[in-house]
Amino acid sequence: MSGKHDLTTRHIRNVLRGRSVNEIVEQMKPDLNSLPTKIPVSAKTTLERVEKTWQHIPNPTLKDILLNPDDVSDYQGNIENLIGTLRVPLGIAGPLRVNGIFAKGDYLVPMATTEAALVASYHRGSSLISEAGGCTSMVLIESVNRAPSFCFPDMAAAGQFVMWAIAEMEVFQKVAATTTSHGQLVDIGTTIEGNHVYLNFDFHTADASGQNMVTIATQAICDHILKHSPVKPSQAYVEANLSGDKKASARSFTTARGKKVTAEVHLAADLVKKRLHCTVDEMCDYWRTSAIGGVLSGTMGIQGHFANGLAALYLATGQDVACVAESAVGVTRFEKSGNGDLYAAVTLPGIMVGTVGGGTGLPTQNACLQIMNLAGPDKSRALAEVTAGLILAGELSIIGALAAGHFSRAHRNLARGKKPIIDKNDVR
């Protein structure tokens, strides 16, 4: 078995490749000669502005591939220094039957990805769930938070500030309301670390994912605090890294950021055998082994590949894809029921999804939401429940493939060559 010494030695050989250490050191020094011309930053997405930006790109022939002039105006407010659009293959999985509090029906789920076998896997899991009558899915709680911090000379001042801030809840709600007609401040949490205070503001953001909404509202509250607090902070920051924004954290399991959602399904043993080509015992045995593997590797949560389904769905429907970092924290659980059937459940403690705002209004992304009939107001909770069902489908399919020994074969057949040979046992 290779150890760290072997890996380091191999890497050093790759770095050198006939060069001396001095040559490499020289190459790595700052180079102030002939500095590049800066591209002026602009949020305008007019065709004129796009053409000016292309003047800075050394290979203008690529413009024909990347730029459709008719689309330019659609992206105002979503990007800066626009040069075109990126085409990502878009597939469909399902129908996925969901029996939720807000989502009820059969959903065709768009998924954008460049990874072969991914849509096939989620499609197989979705079909399996639907054949069993669908999954039950439930939004448990929802809020989006922002956590500003305030610095004081000592703990006594920090404590005095906290007592004042907690009593100002209604005032803070009114201040937040001046920045948005959709968001609402619903709670405040406090954390004191020495002479530092972190206030955790929880908001309801209606049908928007809401990161920008809560940032703007929190800034307004911070401005109010700096003006009116009887104990003046020496420093204040609108976000001090306590919220868990766009990063995996243990905090996800004890609070909510976005929508906390869970989904379950009961699968008859003969259905598992027929569609996943393994037994309930084999599914549970693999799940237990992989759960221990997750513990040994220190993963945040225990699950197979939440990020795959979330990233593909987020790309397709205009969500903030960077939020996969926090949304993919969660737990998968398989158990054999008393009657021999398979009980499978997933819990995602904080998925960031919306059906209005952000990228959800862009042409192709909005079309994907329309495919599911989940575009526009009053649909975000249903989208969250469908998302949980999709993630459950993906867990069933990948664990079935691993338990049955089909995992690598599916990737070999689907990911290599232009005309893959599809084994019905891998993806049906």
Active site residues: 115, 320, 411
Determine if residue 236 is left, alpha or beta; phi over 0 gives left, psi from -120 to 50 gives alpha, anything else beta.
beta
The string of DSSP codes covering 90-114 is: EEEEEEEEEEESS-EEEEEEEEE-S
Residue 70 is classified by DSSP as G
Amino acid at 23: E
Cα angle for residues 170, 175, 177 (degrees, 5° grid) = 95
Token pair 């700052």: residue: 30
* Dist CA 331 CA 18 (whole Å): 49
Cis peptide before 30 (omega within 30 of 0): no
Q: 184: helix, coil or strand?
A: strand
Please, are residues 390 and 380 in contact by the beta-carbon 8 Å criterion? no
Token pair 């997933």: residue: 346
Provide the β-strand partners of residue 81. Answer: none
What are the residues whose beta carbons fall under 8 Å from the beta carbon of 191, sequence distance 6 or more?
197, 198, 200, 242
In 3D space, the residue among 396, 400, 312, 425 whose CA is nearest the CA of residue 135 turns out to be 396
The string of DSSP codes covering 191-216 is: EEETTEEEEEEEEE-TTB--HHHHHH
In 3D space, the residue among 324, 370, 312 whose CA is nearest the CA of residue 351 turns out to be 324
Distinct helix (H) and strand (E) counts, the chain: 16, 11
Provide the β-strand partners of residue 264. Answer: 136, 345
In 3D space, the residue among 242, 221, 216 whose CA is nearest the CA of residue 233 turns out to be 221
* Dist CA 283 CA 357 (whole Å): 40
Determine if residue 338 is left, alpha or beta; phi over 0 gives left, psi from -120 to 50 gives alpha, anything else beta.
alpha
